[in-house]
A = this chain, B = another copy of it.
Amino acid sequence: MDHSKTLNLNVRKDFPILSKKILEKKDLIYFDTAASAQKPNTVIDETNDFYKNHYSNVSRGVHTLSVESTFRYEDARKKVQKFLNARSENEIIFTKSATEGINLVAQTFYDKFMQKGDEVILSLIEHHSNLIPWFFLRDKYGVVLKFANIQPSGEIDIDHFNSLFTNKTKIVSLTHLSNVFGTELNEKAISICKDKNVPILLDGCQSAAHLKIDVQKLSCDFFVFSGHKTYGPAGIGVLYGTENLLSEMPPYQGGGGMIGDVSLEGASYAELPAKYEAGTPPLVEAHGLGIAIDYMNKIGLDNIIEHENEITKYAFNKLNEIDFIEIHGGDNKRNSIISFNIKNIHSHEVSSFLDVEGIAIRAGHHCCQPLMKHLGVNSTARLSFGVYNSLEEVDKFVIALHKCKEFFNK
């Protein structure tokens, strides 16, 4: 156990679940943050407080609780706006998840800007949530989908990507940080889109809490993420879109809260952002996400990123030394995520074995079946880190891996 360096951050105590004992005796080592992050006390407590002291519906009544709920909800929007450095709160739409955000964009962008035969560029490493909504456009409307290849490193092959554009290319949608490789999207991909004047959606599910996001600097047109992966509650997501595009696209779902004036003959729609928020929104969850952002800001996103980088590098090097381990992707920088296989042992076996040691990792296709097929595996094991992890946990994990190998080769 050579964790020569100890890290500066130690926030484990902020996360109540981390004191849970797995199977009544093992300390929990949670290496599944990419699937969903654990929640700090403040997020849990504020959820509590909202229901105990301030709850009612938003934007509808004029009574005190309605004021308190509405202000919390809209305050969360401001926090998200600052978190992403969006120009205006009108560019922040609360959804139930990143998945919903992508569905919303695919459908309404099509409705406004596309027709049969138009093209969308995706890539081989996309999550199902950034594939199927576009498959729907292909199946329903005859939209053409093109997929950028990847290099052995796991990064998009920029030349191939560039070659996919035609004058029918209407939108590009790419993952900002791969949930399998942990590699960041090459900035060139975005600048190519800018050059060609094609809007780009970034799937920021894995980047939102692990890279510093500035949608203006990134100059993306859409950016989606999920609250539950950024230390916030379940049931809340964010869609960022430029005011230009969001104003032009039609609404997605219809219902209370997104209307201007309604008669039986027709309806006018509310201004942004309400236009895209039909029905009672996940208001308490939005507030919780705002609190999660406060939490990250308090720790400092730079510190979080540095912390995770240290752990990721440490783990990568450790795994790289082990001959029975195959790491997927190349040697390029990983951000909080590493996928691997133990040769001849299925990832399920690895995960179940580690589970009884208290270690939670993810095993499966990570909702990236096309990529799995490309890699020639049907599943991988995945380590993913959050602000609460430590080098010691990595050491324990490595020991457990050796035990695992031994057990299945006995």
Contacts and interface: CB of A to CB of B under 8 A. Distances in A.
B128 A262 contact: yes
A239 interface: no
A254 B285 contact: no
Q: Which of A66, A96, A258, A259 has the most chain B CB atoms inside 10 A of its CB? A: A96
A47 B44 CA distance: 8
A256 interface: yes
A255 B120 CA distance: 17
Interface in A4-43: 16-17, 20, 22-23, 28, 30, 32, 35-36, 38-39, 43
A54 B99 CA distance: 23
A63 B228 contact: no
Contacts of A39: 51, 55
Per DSSP, are chain A's interface residues mostly helix, strand or loop, or mixed?
Answer: mixed
Interface of A: 16-17, 20, 22-23, 28, 30, 32, 35-36, 38-39, 43-44, 47-48, 51-57, 60-66, 96-100, 102-103, 111, 124, 127-129, 131-133, 135-136, 139-140, 145, 147, 226, 228, 233-237, 253-259, 261-264, 266-267, 278-285, 348, 351-352, 354-355, 359-364, 367, 369-370, 373
Given A17-B55, A62-B363, A99-B279, 9 more contacts: A47-B51, A61-B362, A100-B253, A103-B255, A124-B264, A128-B259, A129-B255, A235-B236, A255-B367
